[in-house]
Structure 1
Amino acid sequence: MAEVRTLAEVLDALTRPGELYERLPDGSVRCYACGHRCLIRPGRRGICQVRFNRDGTLYVPWGYVAALQVDPTEKKPFFHILPGSYTLTFGMLGCDLHCSYCQNWLTSQALRDPAAGVMPEEVTPQQLVALAKRYGAQLVGSSYNEPLITSEWAVAIFKEAVAQGLRCIYVSNGNLTREVLAYLRPYLVGYKIDLKSMRDKNYRALGMPLKNVLEGIRMVYESGLWLEVVTLVVPGFNDSDEELREAAEFLASISPDIPWHVTAFHPDYKMTDRDWTPARTLIRAAEIGKAAGLRYVYAGNLPGRVGPFENTYCPNCDALLIARHGFRILFDHLSGRGTCYRCGTPIPGIWQ
């Protein structure tokens, strides 16, 4: 009779010694893959549950995916990177947060919640990049769980992808460190960060202090990576005018050219006590973003119901540059040129 292994046993076998940590004299390790900077003693795990200390060496996830598909790049969402392109998107298991409304909880909350977890599929970086090329993807992205905690594996894939002429992106909660950003930076062109709230109390309920994500947004912008920021607008959690204005003003203070996506919540995981975010709330949030000085504000997850806030306009002459319906490009006057066709204003992003 075949031996039945638990998910933890399977995952612990799919590991190898990591790179994003330091050894301490007593056999403990200090991990710096994410902003928690976990002190992990021998035989113990980090907050993410998937990085663990075995005899003074930090072991990290390796050699598998738990989610894999080819998505429109707009779904990440990146609206200013190669419109109409596709991204081969892979995810592993585990997360450094425990959001009660997580839409990817089956992968993110593995080993933390007994109801979560899917069996991993073993794969090599070469196989993943070959898949990307077979399906015509121009980018490779890490998403679905929190990619920071599996950064060593991501970099192995990204090295192969870049060698094959593909570009790479991260879809993350932004709880990063300078060390992990320096480790990832040579392989990435874009980084998406969730700004979930402007209230420290809210963030601590999810699993980290607000300052970590604010610093993360600053660090990514200063690194020169293309940055887009998403706020999932959750009724009764972060949808007040005051909080939305604070988020928009914070982003505008870094750069008015950072695209801000305000997207609709739907009931999921442990937060089923409230309704979908109405379109009027997203339109209000987008208008607040524009009033705060942001030049590119988008409303997502409600295709065709948010007026002009799916499209890209010239901030100088208001010409319609890219028209969208959900993740579908209706027309594109920007790719290949990167400037407004009417007045010549440069539009920041990756258009070629």
Structure 2
Amino acid sequence: MSATVQLRNLLVDRSMPSAPELEIRLVDNWVRCVACGHRCRIKPDGAGVCRVRFNRDGRLRAPFGYVAGLQVDPIEKKPFFHAFPGRDALSFGMLGCDYHCSYCQNWVTSQALRDDQAVARPRFCQPETLIDLARQRGAPVMVSTYNEPLITADWAVEVFRGARAAGIRCGFVSNGNATPEVLGYIRPYVDLYKVDLKGFDDRQYRRLGGTLDNVLATIARLIEMDFWVEVVTLIVPGFNDGDEELTAIAEFLAGVSANIPWHVTAFHPDYKMTDPPATPVSTLIRAYDIGRTAGLRFVYAGNIPGAVGEREDTCCPDCGQTLIRRRGFYVLENRLTDGRCPSCAATIPGVWEDAPPKRSTGTGIPLPVALA
């Protein structure tokens, strides 16, 4: 029996009924899952494209009660630059994804059940355990990440329900292939939402397992629903680094809201995509300039700490004053006061603390967390 089959059997045994909001029951014991944009129609004993949501006896089952990745990360690693700067986020992930990106940097968790080389093992736990860990580590934020959180939203909501009651804010790091149903389901518990906008070419999107239009619709819907949204584009040489495509991304985002932070980040060869070289600094600077020209007020160049100058920093769009200085995931200085520029009093959009730390309170690097 292969490792993938063994893992699938283990997760099936530990699954729970899906949240009713994410299931549509059909005739002849078929079900439709609406946890992601694939809206899979699943036959009895079948599974969705994600491999982790499946039909048992005419009812949708979902992953529950475990983590496959667990770390205390600087919130800047997510990346969220306009939420709790300098703070840590307790970050957890499960297994599986509805995409199959050949350059995925979290493939060990996201491609489990699809790739026998993805060997992350589940660690079973209760929501209270994760919430207690966040408190112990002084993390004011918990984030579902490392796999696609939409397909494991049932477990994330179970964790976040208790986290919100404990005064902890919560976030998703997602590919954005959502549905109105799943966004409505998570909205009472999720404050922060980061979307990976992987390009602006539908043909390329379909190679990864999704469609461009649905991700664009998700971004617009997230803004309408008042999530705090930040968008990341990993710039891969030869895949999505042309001026025309970057301009299309930037103009789309600016048309939704000029206040959406856009992170243009450097690719490093990983997983099955080892041929393209790492993204040069000059490409990140070019993408940054394209974003600013398109009217975006907050553009950030990332994944090459210290190499892009002030393009890692948050500046006041009104007076130009540097408000938050960064190097990589580390906040060197935070001058915001009650979410305002101290020089001109302009309000800076984001999710801010009343009395934020003046610099990072943690190490500025990811730290694995052990479960007792």
The TM tier, using the shorter chain, reads over 0.9
CA deviations on 1:31-54 (whole Å, 9 max, x unpaired) are: 000000000000100000000101
Q: Is the 8 A contact 1:109 1:117 kept in 2?
A: no
Secondary structure at 2:155's aligned position in 1?
A: helix
Structure 2 stretches lacking a partner, 5+ long: 354-372
Specify the SS of the correspondent of 2:193. strand
Residue equivalent to 1:165? 167
What are the Cα deviations for residues 95-136 of structure 1, in whole angstroms up to 9, with x where unaligned? 000001000111101111121131100000000000000010
Counterpart of 2:319 in structure 1 is 317
Secondary structure at the aligned position of 2:245 is classed as helix
Distance 2:327 2:120 in 1: 32
Partner residue, 2:71: 69
In the alignment, the residues of structure 2 paired with residue 118 and residue 12 of structure 1 have an alpha-carbon distance, to the nearest angstrom, of: 16
Question: Counterparts of 2:11 and 2:31 in 1: how far apart (Å)?
Answer: 20
For the aligned residue pairs, the C-alpha RMSD in angstroms reads 1.0
On the 8 A contact 1:42/1:53 being kept in 2, the answer is: yes
Of 188, 196, 203, the residue aligned with 2:198 is: 196
Q: Which has the higher contact order (CA 8 A, sep 6+)?
A: 2
Counterpart in the other structure of 1:348: 349
For 2:171 and 2:29, locate their aligned partners in 1 and report how far apart those are by CA, in whole Å.
34
Q: In percent, how many aligned pairs have the same letter?
A: 59
Structure 2 letter corresponding to 1:340: C
Aligned to 2:122: 120
1:12-23 map, 5 Å:
12-19=12-19, 20-23=22-25
Distance apart, 1:280 and its partner CA: 0.8
Whole-Å separation in 2 of the counterparts to 1:102 and 1:257: 28
Taking the aligned partners of 1:242 and 1:307, their CA distance within structure 2 comes to 25
Matched position secondary structure for 2:187? helix
Q: Runs of at least 4 residues of structure 1 off by over 4 A?
A: none
For 1:31, the aligned partner's letter is C
- The Cα of 1:69 is off from its aligned counterpart by 0.5
> Letter of the aligned partner of 1:216 in structure 2?
T
Q: Helix, strand or coil for the counterpart of 1:272?
A: coil
Match of 2:243 among 237, 241, 244: 241
Aligned residue type for 1:209: T
Distance 1:38 1:257 in 2: 34
- The number of residue pairs the alignment matches comes to 348
Task: Show CA shifts across 1:294-347 (max 9, x none).
Answer: 00000110000012110000001100000000011110011x411111111110
SS at match of 1:181: helix
Q: Does 1:38 align with 2:40?
A: yes
TM-score, reference length from structure 2? 0.92
Q: Does 1:105 align with 2:107?
A: yes
| Residue 142 of structure 1: aligned partner | 144
1:93, 1:117 within 8 Å by CA — same for their partners in 2? no
After TM superposition, give the deviation of residue 12 of structure 1 in Å. 1.1
Please state whether the residue corresponding to 2:198 is helix, strand or coil.
coil
- What SS does the aligned partner of 1:9 have? helix
Say if 2:165 is the partner of 1:174. no
**How many angstroms apart in 1 are the aligned matches of 2:241 and 2:188?**
36
Contact 1:69 1:88 in 2 (8 A): yes
Instruction: Pick the aligned partner of 2:231 from 216, 229, 239.
Output: 229
